[in-house]
Amino acid sequence: MKKALSILFVYLVSLATLANEPLHESELRELTQRFIEAKNQRQQPDSTPKDVDYFLSFLADEFKDEHVKFKEHAKGQPSHMDEPVEYTAINIMSLEFNDHGKIIHIRRHHGL
């Protein structure tokens, strides 16, 4: 009986240790891709409550969704060019995951 309990204890400790390992890059890429697909699907006219629930399943119980405020729009004519140049910055999103694969921080940056 002691031997069985010892084996069970070692098994449970090893499971707890494995659960605390950081996610591998391939896992993070897969989670990110699935999150973006879920985000896009919940914004469609035919989205359902199930789509919204799936999107929410990627988020930790407590998370931040931060919009960094430095969006740029510029229009001008450099002296060395014949025509004006106009651009609007592109939105870049970065995701921070916890050890359980849940998103804890979303940052939306505006860049070129």
Domain CATH for 42: 3.10.450
Here the contacts of 83-90 (C-beta below 8 Å, separation 24 or greater) are 87/112
In a domain, 66, yes or no: yes
Share of the chain above pLDDT 90, in %: 22
Structural domain range at position 38? 23-111
Share of the chain above pLDDT 70, in %: 69
In a domain, 43, yes or no: yes
Question: Which residues make Cβ contacts (< 8 Å) with residue 57, sequence separation at least 6?
Answer: 38
Residues 57-104 have pLDDT tens digits of: 999 999 888 776 675 666 776 667 788 877 676 678 888 999 889 999
Closest CA to 24 of 103, 95, 106, 99: 99
Q: Which two tokens stand for residue 7?
A: 């084996």
Query: What does pLDDT average to over the chain?
Result: 76
